[in-house]
Each structure stands twice: as structure tokens, then as C-alpha cells.
A and B are shown apart, each in its own frame.
Chain A
Amino acid sequence: MGRPSKGRQRIEIRRIEDAGRLEVTFSKRKSGLQKKASELFLLCGSPVALVVFSPGKKAFARGTPSVDDVLRRYAPIPGEELDAKLLAVLQDTDDANAIADRAEAEAIVRRTEETRARSATEKARMDAIGKTVRQAAAKAGRKFWWEADSDELGEDELPEFAKMLRRLRVNLQRHLDSLSARLHFPDAEDNLTFNDTMIALQLMRAQFPKLDKVVAQPFIVQSQLYSSVKDRTQVDRDLESFKRDKVLRIFKLSSGQDDHAIMFMDDYLKQVAFAIKRSGGKDQDGSEVFEWFERYVVPSKLDVSINQLELCSLLSRGGDVTDKHITLLMNAGLLTRQLIDPNIYWFSIPRIGPILKGLSQGRKEILSLLNRRKYKEMLLSSLENTKLRLSPLDTRFLLRDLIGSGHIKTVQTPTGLLARISRD
């Protein structure tokens, strides 16, 4: 039938020669013997005392109610007849004591059983709740239990669900804090890789550099993700599924190289609102196009670019579209054109010009800094402490991007991580 092991076998009752097996057998059988002794007292009311000496010459004594009690009662030490009074008391109230002892022991045992039963029922209840939550999550098509639709859960699941969510949040915050603390000291922890794209995205969003004069919602450059998550194909596939679920949007940056920026949907909408306000607000004529854009174009077109026909057809669900409307969109920075194809409009993050400039300048500066050195390498810790002259962005942001795009590679050395220009 293909059983994994042969199960319990009969063994020969002889002294075991092998020392290891001897000790294991001793401890297992000793505990069994002690259990049987206590059961005998409970079932038949007979006081039992058990003394066992282990192969290591240790003594284990067990008795109910206690070893001393039993022995003094039934096998009195000759020198202790002076305490005959005590002994007599013990002997007289033998039955009462025994009954009291037994009652107490039984009470303890009962309490233990009750607690065990209670914990079992509680566990069963939590399991049932967990199953319901997971089913609700699966029904909504989500992978994780915390994405379960709370309307689907019943009233006994909701409090537990809320408690678990709070606990998850606390754990996640703790994890993020520890990770960000770790990243400040890279030579202490050289393992900068995670295996979840969303964790990496959240972490990098939290560590987005804050510039003085620019108000911008955080975004992540795609090559930064590759420096933190090992499996690039999985990152791409996760990004694709997040994009389809409208959790985030991907934009092609016009920096000349193949750069993409990732922004969470709510951050993007906030940035769009800010850009609209800055570009002239809602009191220009034609400004209803901003609302059409947000309502019709953003939710339905999830790609990085859109061609003219489709843009017009989507916008015209709101009303008549003229060229002036598209001009307004371009002036606000929501759409751009790139050299690749004149008929295609590209979605863009508005008002991040200084950041993009800082990105390209910073890349060049770090690469030239490394190239000037004799062996084109530098310790990562000292690199992170250098202040860049031409770029306001912090070095860690730029280093992640350079490592992920392959210009710099990191090498583990006894003194920490080393960053080196990678030759092709």
C-alpha cells in the first residue's frame, strides 16, 4: 500500500546495548510510567510513589499526593516515631485526606480538560473564520487574505478580521522600520533583497527623497525595483498584474533611455489635481477636459501611451472634443509626445521636471565619480555618504537605479559591499 514507515514494532525485551537508544528509550518509558502511576491513583485511589534512577545516575521521584507522604504513611522511617503524633494524624485522617486530595486532584484535572477543550473550540472557530475570509478573498479574485471584501464576511468574522488586519499593519510597520533602519547601515546587513514586489514598492515609496522646492508625490523608477528584488521576470509579471488591477500606473520617462516610472494610483490622482491647479485651475474655458480625462481616459487606458484616435474617442464620452482641449492637457503636463512616433501621446507624471533633471545629472555624476578612480570601484557605504554637487536627489535613490539598470554592480568583500562599474 506504500506506507511511509513500518510503525510501532515489537521489540525484544532485553537490555539495549546502544547508549543513545538506551537513553531515549529510558526517558520515553519513564514518562509513560509516571503517567500510569498517577492514573492508578486517580482510578483506584491507591497512593503510589515511584522512584526511578536514570542511566546518568539521576533520581526521578513521583508520587501522589507526594512521595514523602506515601512513604511516611506506609513505610515509616524508624527515627521518626517521635513525630508519631503527626503520623497518627496522618493515619487517622487517612480517608478524609485521601478524599480531599483526590477531589483536589480531580478538580485540577477537570480544569485542565476544560481549558484544553476551550482552546480546541477556539482554534476551530478561528480556523472556520480563516476559511471564510479566504473564501471571500478568493471569490473577489484576490490572492491575499487581507483583500477579502468585508461585506462578504458575517458578523462573527468581522471583529476577528479587524483585529488581524490591525495586527498585520503593526507587523508590516515594524518590518518596514527594521528594513529602513537596516538600509542606513548597509555594511551591517548585506542582504538587500526581498521577494515581494509590493514590499519593495512600498519601501521605496516611503524612502522617496524630499526636495525643497518641488512638491511631488513619490514615484519609483523601474530599474530601482530590479536592484532589490532578485527575480526580474517575476517583478515584471507582478507589475503587469498590479497595472491590470489598477493599483498602480506605469509611465515612460522621456530621459532618452528606456526608463519607466511607477506610481500608485492615488498618488497619481493627487499629482494630477495639483498640476491642474497649478496650470490655471478650473476656470479656464475648456477645463472640463480634465474631468473627462480623469473619468474616462485614466481608468480605461492602462498602457503607457495612447494614440490620437483613441484619446479623442475616450474624451468624447464626456462631450465634444476640440484641439484646444488636448492643448490644455499637454500644458498641464498630463500628456506628452516623444520623438518615437508623432501620432502617439504618452502619459506622463506632471511637474516632476526638476526630479528628472536631478536623476540624469546624478547618474552622470556618480558614474564619472567611479570612472575617475583607479579601479573604478568604491565602497558602497562611502558612496552613500558623498554629497552630489549637481543633483538634489540622495545617493541611495540614484544608486538603486544604477544597480538595477546594470551600470554598476555590487561585489561582496570582507569590508562590505563594493560598487564597481560593470564592463560589458
Chain B
Amino acid sequence: MWLEDVRGRERGELRARRFEASARARRAASLALSNRKEFATPHHGAVNSLQVDLTEGRYLLSGASDGSAAVFDVWNATEYEAGFIAKHRNILLVDKQHQNGHRFAVSAAVWYPVDTGLFVTASFDQYVKVWDTNSTQVVMEFKMPGKVYTAAMSPVATTHMLIATGTADVQVRLCDIASGAFTHTLSGHRDGIMSLEWSASSEWILMSGGCDGAIRFWDIRRAGCFRVLDQSRSQLGKRPPLVKSAVENDHTDSLGPSPSTRSSAQKRAGISKKSSPALRKIQNLTHGQMQQRLHPGLSSSQNRATAHYGAVTGLRTTTDGMYLLSSGSDSRLRLWDIDSGCNTLVNFEAMRLQTGKPLQLAVTEDPSLVFVPCMASIKAYNLWSGTTFRTFRGHYELVNCCYYSEQDQELYTGGNDRQILVWSPSTPAFTEMEDDDKTLSGADEDNWSD
């Protein structure tokens, strides 16, 4: 198949992009536990977070439950075992022994998106620290009001360098590296925040998933959230229908105007005309509810729509920024259309997900596969149909995080067994014997013959 593709490329039948896309897809489909690469992890606790840097795709940053963070070089191995198995040791390690290191578990470790000179770690000791990679020193630290579950920086940011942090407190805080202070506090969630994700298309849009089961979209230039994802609002298919069928907004949205270009006064007049006797009666009946004054385009903080029946434990957008995947502690994975805010009703087959910890999901670039850590294995699902593509079993204990490196088509996973495993496109066995000087034709050769 490779040969045919190459020949097609030679003759000009296959375009360069097509060739590349089909090569990537083929390699992604053949992922298996790597037999030529491994990481020697120095961690003494569960690996909670993994990320390869976005500029070069060369350095892997991992954060663990023993308060340590380590950096590995993914391309060059530090030593070779048995001649061809590459062993990668950590280049850098910061742990409890470090004078400014974290004292409790590191829950998230992310690179500074612009270059690998800085990285950010967030920990259960309520601190978010910014480190200089070359000198391994803490440059800046931010104190949070609760255990920090997650931290994220926008990969497309050009005008700001804000770290979004989610803690056990109900507010999302944005910390600024340039000034060293908190710039924003976003309120709206009713419980702690377990997962955060910046939008892949806009540097101002942030998505947060909370323990109350809601997913909120925030535009950080304004004061409130402009959308709350509701699992009962759904669309049948990848694209929303052209004719807007009567999607009835619930009445909490009608208390405030829905995002539209019409003026808010006109909209409120329209609603009151429709249901004025009922509205008056409601106001007589429910004394506890206050009428909230809202700006146009903002969603009420009393909007109690939930995206999951439990906590939202993981969020991931596709790289084109059009779809959002969310995993919840109700053991469901949902695919949302970001543009319309509807649930696309893709049913990902039965899985049991960890409920207490934030999970890290991964999506391939031509969004075709999503990798989800399910208990002690990682399941790869087809994104659009929800069928299980493959189950990767290799970890001895629960898996917490996975990261798919688009450049090498490799999947890195970390779990409670303190290991970071590498899953790479499988190569046929005979090419391993590189120092074998017999000329073999792989087709008619087996492992026993001389």
C-alpha cells in the first residue's frame, strides 16, 4: 500500500496533501505498544499530566503525584538497550527536594506555548508556579484559594499570556505572567472546576467544565459566559440543520435575552407579550428567584443546564476548533458542535471512566480518532460514529492522561503505575534486525529459518 501511494505520488496522481494525510491515517491506525522506545520515568507517584511542546514537538513534560515534574527528549534517546531499543531518560527533574518545588501532587504541567523556555505547573498545594527551563528556577508563583485541578494556556495567543486555572473554588482565575497578578475572575460555576480548554480558533475564548456538570464558554474580554452547553439540546448529525426547527429555549434563558443582534429591550418585550400572564404569576409564586439584569449576549449564571449528569472530567477540542469532546463522571463521552452549542448525539460505546480525577483526552488531527483513558486501558473511538476502534492495554493500573503527538503519530500515556508508555505505529518485525547481514525478502522468511 505504501508502494502504491509512492508510485501514485511519483506519477502525479496523488497530491502531496492527500499522500501525507493517508500516510498519517495509516500510521495512526496501526498504533501498538512501541517495541523500540521507552521512557525511564523518575516519578514516584502517579503520572497526572503529559504534554509535548507545541513549538518543536520534541520535549515531553510530565507532572506526577509526588510533586515532581520531568522533561524528556522524545527524539534523541539517552542510551540504547540491546542495540536498538531507545531508552529516554529525563533531561530535567524538579521535585520536592527542590527549594521551591511543590509540596503536594502536581495535577497539571503545561509548556509555555511560544517557546520551551518556560513551563507552568499547577499543584494540590494551591500554588501555580512558572519555571524557567534552562535554569530550573521558579520565576513566578500564584497562590490560589483551593487545590488547583487544572491549568491551561492558549496555544494561539499573540496578545496575552494568561494562564487559566481551575480550582476547587467556583471561580476560574486567569493569571498573567507579564504582570504577575490575577487579571480575571470568571464566575458562574456552582462547584469546583476540573477541566479547562482554550479554543483552538480564538485566543479569547475559554471553555471550562465544572464538578456541577456544566460546560461554560467564556469570552475573556467580557464579563460573563456566553454559552452553557445543555445535553438536552441536540442536533441530529455533524452539522446543525439548515432550517432551525423549534428548539425551545428553556425559560431561564428567556429571563435574559438570547444572543442576537436585536436590542435587549425589544426581545424582552417580545417574550413578555407571549407569556405575560404566566410570567406575572411566576413572579408572584417564586419569591426566592431574583430577576437578573443581563448584558446582551450573556447567559445567566442561574442557567442550570448541565452537559453531564456528574462532573465534567475532561475537555478537548478538535484542532480545527469546530467540535468539543467532553468526558464526564457519568461515564459518558459527548461530542459537541461548538458553533451551534448542540450535542451531536454520537454515542461512544460503553466505557467506565474514572470519576475522581481530571482526565486528559487526545484527538488526532484530521479528527478521526479520539483516545480516552478508561480505567486501566486506553480506548480509541472513531469520532463520528462512536464505534470502538481499538483498546490499548498495557498499563498495570488506572490511566490518567494521554497525549497524541501529531508529528510522529505517537501516543504517550501515563497512569497510576508511574509509567509513561509509548504507543507507536507498528513496524514489521524483520526490520528490527538491522545488524543482520543476510539479505532477507520478508515475504518468504519466518522467525525460525536460517
Contacts and interface: CB of A to CB of B under 8 A. Distances in A.
A177 interface: no
A424 to B, nearest CB: 4
A288 to B, nearest CB: 16
A232 B236 contact: no
Contacts of B77: none
A316 B281 contact: yes
A236 B251 contact: no
A236 B304 contact: no
Contacts of A370: none
Interface residues of A, number: 34
B285 A312 contact: yes
Interface in B275-302: 275, 277-279, 281-282, 285-286, 289
Contact of A309 (B248, B286, B376): B286
B406 to A, nearest CB: 26
B332 A258 contact: yes
A321 B285 contact: yes
Greatest chain A CB density within 10 A among B282, B332, B351, B377 is at: B282
Given A233-B347, A341-B304, A309 B282 contact: yes
Contact of B250 (A304, A310, A321): A310
Interface string A294-324: 0000001001100111101110110011000
Given A258-B309, A406-B349, A424-B374, A312 B282 contact: yes
A253 to B, nearest CB: 12
B190 to A, nearest CB: 9
B335 to A, nearest CB: 10
Contact of B232 (A235, A303, A343): A303
Nearest to A306: B250
B386 interface: yes
B428 to A, nearest CB: 29
Nearest to B278: A313
Nearest to A308: B286
B349 A232 contact: yes
Contacts, number: 83
B250 A237 contact: no
B279 A231 contact: no
Interface string B347-369: 10111100000000000000000
B252 interface: yes
Contact of A258 (B236, B237, B330): B330
A424 B398 CA distance: 11
Contacts of B332: 258
Contact of A312 (B245, B286, B331, B385): B286
B350 A406 contact: yes
Interface size of B as a range: 35 or more
Given A258-B309, A406-B351, A304 B282 contact: no
A246 B278 CA distance: 24
B304 A310 contact: no
B185 interface: no
A231 B278 contact: no
Contacts of A313: 251, 275, 278-279, 281-282
Contacts of B309: 252, 258, 340
Nearest to B328: A258
B35 to A, nearest CB: 24
Contacts of B286: 308-309, 312
A404 to B, nearest CB: 8
A404 B350 CA distance: 8
Given A303-B232, A320-B281, A232 B251 contact: no
Interface in B220-270: 232, 234, 236-237, 245, 248, 250-252
B304 A343 contact: yes
A344 B304 CA distance: 9
A424 B352 contact: yes
B304 A309 contact: no
Nearest to A237: B236
Interface in A231-251: 231-233, 235-237, 240-241, 244
A405 interface: yes
B205 to A, nearest CB: 27
Given A233-B386, A316-B282, A304 B232 contact: yes
B346 interface: yes
Greatest chain A CB density within 10 A among B236, B245, B286, B374 is at: B236
Contacts of A237: 236-237, 345
B369 to A, nearest CB: 16
Nearest to A340: B309
Contacts of A344: 304
B236 A240 contact: yes
Contacts of B377: 424
B381 to A, nearest CB: 11
Contacts of A300: 248
B358 to A, nearest CB: 19
A297 to B, nearest CB: 13
Contacts of A231: 385
Contact of B376 (A241, A312, A424): A424
Contacts of B252: 307, 309-310
Greatest chain B CB density within 10 A among A235, A316, A317 is at: A316
A307 B281 contact: no
B166 interface: no
A206 B36 CA distance: 56
B85 interface: no
A316 B352 CA distance: 43
Contacts of B386: 232-233
Contacts of A314: 278
B213 interface: yes
Greatest chain A CB density within 10 A among B213, B376, B386 is at: B386
A159 to B, nearest CB: 35
A235 B347 contact: yes
A411 to B, nearest CB: 15
B157 interface: no
A309 B232 contact: no
B291 to A, nearest CB: 11
Greatest chain B CB density within 10 A among A226, A231, A310, A320 is at: A310
Interface in A257-305: 258, 300, 303-304
B213 to A, nearest CB: 7
Nearest to A409: B350
B375 interface: yes
Interface in B370-387: 374-377, 385-386
Given A233-B386, A320-B281, A309 B345 contact: no
Contacts of A406: 349-352
B73 to A, nearest CB: 33
A198 B346 CA distance: 19
A309 B281 contact: no
A365 B375 CA distance: 24
A89 to B, nearest CB: 81
Interface in A322-352: 340-341, 343-344
Q: Which 3 A-B pairs have the closest CB atoms?
A: A406-B350, A232-B347, A424-B375
14 contacts: A244-B245, A258-B309, A258-B330, A307-B250, A307-B251, A309-B251, A309-B286, A310-B250, A310-B252, A312-B281, A316-B281, A340-B306, A340-B309, A424-B351
Given A226-B347, A320-B281, 16 more contacts: A226-B350, A232-B347, A232-B349, A233-B346, A233-B385, A235-B347, A237-B236, A237-B345, A309-B282, A312-B281, A312-B282, A312-B285, A313-B278, A316-B282, A406-B349, A406-B352
Interface of B: 213, 232, 234, 236-237, 245, 248, 250-252, 275, 277-279, 281-282, 285-286, 289, 304, 306, 309, 330-332, 345-347, 349-352, 374-377, 385-386
